[in-house]
Amino acid sequence: MTYKPLGVMLALAFLASCVTQAQGALIPCVSVTSSGLKREFPPTLAIDGKANTWFSANVAPQSLTCDLGSVQDVDSIDLVLYRGAERNTALKVDLAGSTSGPWVTVVSRRTVTPLRPARDKEGYQTLTWARQSARYIRVTGYGNSENSAVAINELRVYAPLNLIGTSLPDDATGTTTSPVSGEVVVQPSGDLLPPPDQVAYFVDCAGSDSLDGRDPTRAWRTLANVSTLSLNPGEGLYFKRGCSWDGQFAAKWNGTSTSNITIGAYGDTSLGMPKFRMTSGESTINVTGSYQQVRGLSVTVASSHVPPVPSDAVKCKTTPAGWRVGIRVAGSNNTIEGNYLTGLTVGIQTTDGEGKGRFNKILRNTLEKMSIASQNTPDNGDNDSGFFAILLNSDDNEVAWNTTSANFGCSEDYLIEGASIEIFRGSNNWIHHNKALNEATFSELGGSTDNRSDYNKYQYNLFVGADVGAELLVVRGAESGWGANFGTEFHNNTAYYVNVGIACFAGCDSTILSAHGNIIEGRSNPSKSEFYGQGADEGHNVIWRTGGGPSFNNGTTARASTTVLADPKFVGPLKASTTGDYRLQADSPALNRSILQYLTVTIAGVPYSVTVDLANFTLPSSNIDAGAFERQ
């Protein structure tokens, strides 16, 4: 694999339902009111912290409204419903900044069914939505499967998850359909606008560039004014949902750690994400500033700008080759969140320009079907590359809660090339809670002997291989010309239908790779090992091959006593698929196999601990299960 000199996204989970999204800090309700009540069951019983007391009111609909005391960012609630393990309850959730509204529906009226198994011992259900600013959270009940009463034992409100750095606000991202999985990425219904006190500029495909762009009725029409726009900390630039633009722009502004700049979407969420098609150059959105949030945008390349097929193509006569990057991040402390990218060479790339490209967050994006090679030559030169969902060419970034699928294509050198998360000359990156489904490679690390990829950490990721071939993790030792990958940690990940599991070679030893608490199941006829380590530090793993006979080879180092060669007993795995159930059955050998010490990693000198699994269940305080899913 080689790269051009650097100077030169199952879809997102169904957000407005009972889904698996990590939660941030609990925000207490300062007070609570209701539209009606039974005298002995006042609304305060729903926020008393006791799951065995409840608010109740007869004759639905009835509502319960939590006052947070001030406007705050929220993206989920936990509910305990009275007798919620036995009956269904119909409800919806609305948010507002004041009691006079406007109220925005973030969870449309729906029937909540009992969780089996319960989310935790108290039976909490989680309802989530795209991050919004609100002071009031109103839950309206429409009765249950037995009667017309509304009864809520507990209501808890949560801020968005704080990953690395400060918690950053999110924006609804519209509606789009995944061309690979066919699933729909949805957002709350309604016409959503930025906070009313924010200095903001608007772009609408039905606007006019002769206006000042300062509110939706005076929106600009094209990207021309964006290039000369000056944004200050806390200000925003918003594009109208349902619109498309041919062109590209630079996010070149600088916010602060406490006052980020927002580049996002506004308008009716039913119209879909604002779409951007690159028509020239190598990147659609070039993020060169700092403390910016790029959220809720759909990015691809215009058909007129797809690079040509190389004239000397032999095996890959329909595969274009060239650099087309959806979102390139050369600045630092930026957040790239909730975007949709497809049909490119690279969906999202971080680059190391003059020590920048650091401390960025790539969160909750959907990246699929990257279809362009960066280089594809029939010279047997071991140098083809491309088809990357995420490419990290810099240090100290976080990649979490993304979904990738079908990011691979034809290669003259390797037959198939591509990766979900590629790291080349990037170190101290944290990759956790991602889903790579129907992919050819989850992650490969490379660089050079004097510019390596070191100390990268992987936790609680899911990888499902594609029929074309599937490599889980490729790392190298000091004998490799691509540079050693010292300090790689790979813990509590789940992989299924792989052709190559963990491959650590060219001088691999315990200084290169530590792999604990993983589940790796190979396909029935793989060409290589499920685990090949040459002396890697490993333990607490479950290694298997569909049909039996897994291959485990760690050189002269014996397999750890805590690692077993056994069927992990997934609930419902599906090969080469974006669906499938990789939770564990009750008799799985992965139960209680891993240990807590592998939940904490250190990034740039700061320790971070994982507290939830890939299904957002809280991890126990004692021994944990191997793999990305903790059995409930």
* C-alpha to C-alpha distance for 471 and 530, rounded to whole angstroms: 9
Compare 524 and 383 and report the one with higher pLDDT: 524
CB distance 169 to 91 below 8 Å? no
Looking at domain 26-158, its CATH class is mainly beta
pLDDT in tens, 506-551: 999 999 999 999 999 999 988 889 999 999 999 999 999 999 999 9
Owner of token pair 């069951």: 41
The proportion of the chain whose per-residue pLDDT surpasses 90, expressed as a percent, equals 65
Whole-angstrom distance, CA of residue 502 vs CA of residue 513: 10
Nearest to 449 by CA among 484, 424, 423: 484
Element (H, E) at 572: strand 570-572
Residue 374 pLDDT more than 50?
yes
The pTM (predicted TM-score) of the whole model is 0.76
DSSP 308: P
DSSP track, 519-543: EEEE-SS-SS-SEE-SS-EEES-EE
Helices marked H in 154-291: none
- Whether residue 178 is predicted with pLDDT greater than 60 in this model: the reply is no
Place of tokens 């498309």: 244
> How far apart are the C-alpha atoms of 494 and 556, rounded to whole Å?
26
What size, in residues, is the chain?
632
- The 3-state secondary structure of 454-507, one letter per residue: CCCEEECCEEEEECCECEEEEEECCCCCCCCCCCEEEECCEEEEECEEEEEECC
Report the candidate in 488, 521, 519, 529 with the shortest Cα–Cα distance to residue 631: 519
% of the chain with per-residue pLDDT over 70: 89
Bridge-partner residues for 392, per DSSP? 350, 423
Which residues touch 187 (CB under 8 Å, ≥6 apart)?
15, 16, 129, 130, 172, 173, 174, 175, 269
pLDDT in tens, 268-317: 877 889 999 999 999 999 999 999 999 999 999 999 999 999 999 999 99
CA dist 107 → 15, 115, 188, 417 (Å):
9, 18, 6, 40
Query: What is the helix (H) or strand (E) element at residue 423, kind and residue range?
Result: strand 419-424
Q: In the prediction, which pLDDT does 225 show?
A: 96
Burial category of 551 from C-beta neighbours within 10 Å (exposed 0-12, middle 13-18, buried 19 and up): middle
Q: Which of 516, 503, 434, 505 is nearest to 472 (CA)?
A: 503
pLDDT of residue 192: 63
List, for residues 420-430, the tens digit of each pLDDT value.
Answer: 999 999 999 99
pLDDT at 113: 67
Rg, C-alpha atoms of the chain: 25
Sequence spans of domains, the chain:
26-158, 240-392+406-420, 425-631
How confident is the prediction for the chain on average, in pLDDT?
A: 86
Q: How sure is the predictor about 85, in pLDDT bands with cuts at 50, 70 and 90?
A: confident
Strands 513-516 and 488-491: parallel
Omega before 179 within 30 of 0, i.e. cis: no
* Winning range, highest mean pLDDT, from 55-64, 438-447, 608-617: 438-447
